[in-house]
Amino acid sequence: MADLEALKSVEDLKWEYLFDQFKPTPRPMMHYDDLADMLMILFGSPTQETVVFYVDNYVGLLVDPETMNVVGFQVEAVQRSFLPAHPAVSRIWRLSESGFPLKEIKDYGDLILNFERNNKVITREVIRTTEGALGEPAIELVAALA
């Protein structure tokens, strides 16, 4: 069987949109679908049309098909495969191991603030897993989330 040629390469993707979303403070929106065991990390509208450009066995880039701008990340088989393969993300994902101050949560506002803080950490660690495939863009995004 002949090897299939990729329609696009990482070099064809644009990062301006994502870098603009990181100024002044990145605010990733997350959606986890437990039925599909899939995590979506978005920096744009959840209704925006995207295509997935896989960079490894688990992580895909969510790309605007018209502009080729990266607008987020998609992680497949989160609990089944991705977390066991990436202990740094797994520790943050599990609240009991993440340092998440569960006793300090007094109301829904505290809960939201803590989740938003952890969203950035989870996003940073997911992006860090792609550094080998993405190179400089991933390194810059990780630094912006530090």
Per-residue pLDDT tens listing for the chain (146 residues): 456 555 567 788 999 998 888 888 788 889 999 999 999 999 877 778 999 999 999 999 999 999 999 999 999 999 999 999 998 888 888 765 555 566 677 888 877 877 787 888 899 999 999 999 999 999 999 998 88
Q: How high is the pLDDT of residue 99? A: 59
What integer pLDDT is reported at residue 1 of this predicted model? 46
In this prediction, residue 38 carries a pLDDT of 97
22 Cβ neighbours under 8 A, 6+ residues apart: 43, 141, 144, 145
Contact 94, 123 (CB under 8 A): no
pTM: 0.84
| Total Cβ atoms within 10 A of residue 99 | 11
